[in-house]
Chains A and B, each alone.
Chain A
Amino acid sequence: MKFNKLLKKLKLYLDADAEQLQQEDEGLSKVLKKLKKKEQALQSAIEKERDDEERELLEQELNIVHSQRKKGIGLLSEIRKKNGAE
């Protein structure tokens, strides 16, 4: 294991706040990946959908997922900034 990684582990061990931030980082990253997949799935579903009403609903959902991703990305970058500052 490289020295930097060991140092980071030690820092995490000593600092409970940093550990929480790390957990949030991991959680957000995972959810954002899932949201990206969901966004792609919705896009392809919209292309296939023939019913106008259903398509409109899917588009609404896509907008929501898009906004959620934007919000998630914003939150993640804030966490990373904080992590870097400590």
Chain B
Amino acid sequence: MGNTLRKVLLPSIMLVLAYGFWISPDFKEISAGVAIFLFGMLALEEGFRAFTGGILEKVLRKSTNRMWKSLTFGFTAATVMQSSSLVSVITISFLSVGLIGLFEGLGIVFGANVGTTTGAWLIAGFGLKVKISAYAMPMLVFGVMLIFQKSKSMKGVGYILVGLGFLFLGIHHMKEGFEAFQNSLDLTAYAMEGLAGILVFTLIGIIATIIMQSSHATLVLIITALSVQQLTYDNALALAIGANVGTTITAVLGALSSNVEGKRLALADVLFKVAAGIVFIALMQPIMGFVDIISSLIGLADDDYTMKLAVFHTIFNLAGVIIMVPLINPLIGLVTQLFKSEPDIHAQPKYLNEASLEFGDTALEALRKETARIYERSIDIIAQGLSLDKADILSDTKLKNVIKAHDKAVEFNIDEVYEHEIKSLCSAVLDYTNRLNVDPVTARQVSRIRLANQSILIALKDVKHLQKNMLQYINSDNAHISSEYNILRQRIAKVIRKLESIRSGEVSATSILSLDALKLTLEKNVSLLHERLDVLIRDGHISADMAISLMNDSNYTYSIINSLIQINHNYLKSEEGSETAAEHMIALNREEINSVLTGNDKIADDGKRRV
């Protein structure tokens, strides 16, 4: 039912939008503005992603590791850019790629709210308006030029510029689209006294800012209206409060394309501004008195309402930040509660707990269970990375038929699951092993568990590399190359299936020794591929490029299989007993396996020498 609804929903929305575009050019322009803006967000995130783990991350971490530093960072950025919403949007993209945390992000946004008040002073004092949107076009041009460069950081800067350019362009189109509504906004028509007036003008401020996509634009409007006495002073203050709330729309729009952290930040920003707005509306009269005191202290005339508005705007944001900074943790708690991240059953270790850490044996058992769990999940990821299905690989169906049934390349982002699940689990295992204090025998077993986890990570990285050409070639028109890549897939699948039967004890109790047969097959397949590759190139069935890809990918396949065997080898070795010790003694080394492969068996003699 839900699935059908999802299938119908997207085309329905598109149809409604298309109809809207047909009947209203303004609506079309606004929607295009939103689309361009969101695309800008994606480009911005792509740009910042290039700097994760690099200098930007270091700079950000150093400049936001304390609350006062985050506040200063936000204040400076908003003062320079003359836009708190732009700072919020960039902060959301920092958060989305994990460059900073929610705590630091909120610090920046709060700082930006104070920074943006400098705008009111500039407008009221000098009639000055910094119009950063004029830079959108050059940004796009320079950005695209940089994207075409080879260097990763150049590309990153390019994407950031293009992202900012699109953000401005999007905002520009939204403004253009709303212009029709803006012209019909006559403030004198709503002039009202008392609380009702304050509430109505707050609402007008919110709507005007949403329409004009800029609290500065609203402030210009308020100041102009004030100077020609179209507006009473307290209504102007209410408009400024509304403008402050309405400006969060940009952050909310930006959060649409971001992950849960970005959404939390946007929500926290909205909550902060709405709460501050409510407090100021409730305390409007005493605050107006306070503004008068400050104004006379800095030598403003009693009727200099435009400058008084700037004072009010500053007090409003400054007081909001002073009140909210101590409440930042409850605020984070609230938004985390409201925006729960997707439940991720894999990202948290299941068996590693403090209690099992106390005893060597239980700790080892916990580590073994956790590793087995990570391995199971990794097999699932490897299967998907090969455009296969784990259940099918482990079924009784002939592998040739399994490969045939999955002959279409399916995109699967290994990096994402690697980063969010496997890497964090493996580091939890490593962290746990570092905290263990055990006897030398258990320490040896623990170190094998560590090695098994290391091999899991290597295998996944190799699948990622293999995936690149494989996705292209399994659907190739050239039957020879697609067949070779299917052989590679089948080979990995076969090893996974065999390892599963060894692990489940189907083969025999001599699990470690069963791995030797797999090692033999691995070595044999390498020489077989080389022979086949010669024929394929000689007969002109595949191009030189294909041959190079195939050679590289056959090495990745070798490494994946080897890692899979190593995982199980180390996992099984971590179980100590007289029989497993005997199995280790009997297990063949690479040289011995090669002598079986060539039919030149000297094992008995070698074995005698080893004792």
Question: Does B associate with A?
Answer: yes
Known contacts: A24-B582, A75-B611. The answer to whether A31 contacts B603 by CB under 8 A is no
What is the chain A residue whose CB lies nearest that of B593?
Answer: A64
B513 and A30 within 8 A (CB):
no
B585 within 8 A of A: yes
Complex Cα distance A64/B578, Å? 22
A19-49 contacts to B (CB < 8 Å):
23-24, 26-28, 30-31, 34-35, 37-38, 41
B547-595 contacts to A (CB < 8 Å):
577-579, 581-583, 585-588, 592-593
A57 and B521 within 8 A (CB):
yes
What is the chain B residue whose CB lies nearest that of A54?
Answer: B398
Q: How large is the interface on B (under 10, 10 to 19, 20 to 34, 35 or more residues)?
A: 20 to 34
Q: How large is the interface on A (under 10, 10 to 19, 20 to 34, 35 or more residues)?
A: 20 to 34
Residue numbers in A under 8 Å from B596 (CB-CB): 63-64, 67
Complex Cα distance A68/B603, Å? 8
Known contacts: A67-B592, A75-B586. The answer to whether A26 contacts B578 by CB under 8 A is yes
Neighbour of B607 across the interface among A31, A34, A75, CB < 8 A: A75
Known contacts: A64-B516, A67-B603, A74-B608. The answer to whether A30 contacts B521 by CB under 8 A is no
A31 and B513 within 8 A (CB):
yes
A74 and B582 within 8 A (CB):
no
What is the chain B residue whose CB lies nearest that of A79?
Answer: B611
Complex Cα distance A35/B607, Å? 16
Complex Cα distance A26/B578, Å? 8
B7 within 8 A of A: no
Least Cβ–Cβ distance between A22 and chain B, in angstroms? 9
A27 and B608 within 8 A (CB):
no
Residue numbers in A under 8 Å from B293 (CB-CB): none
Complex Cα distance A82/B582, Å? 17
A15 within 8 A of B: no
Residue numbers in A under 8 Å from B507 (CB-CB): 38
B610 within 8 A of A: yes
Known contacts: A60-B524, A64-B520. The answer to whether A71 contacts B607 by CB under 8 A is yes
Residue numbers in B under 8 Å from A31 (CB-CB): 510, 513, 579, 582-583, 586
Complex Cα distance A63/B585, Å? 18
B604 within 8 A of A: yes
- Chain A contacts to B: CB under 8 angstroms: 23-24, 26-28, 30-31, 34-35, 37-38, 41, 57, 60-61, 63-65, 67-68, 70-75, 77-79, 82
17 contacting pairs across A/B (C-beta < 8 A):
A23-B581, A28-B586, A30-B578, A30-B582, A31-B510, A31-B586, A35-B513, A41-B508, A60-B524, A68-B513, A68-B516, A72-B582, A75-B585, A75-B586, A75-B607, A78-B608, A79-B611
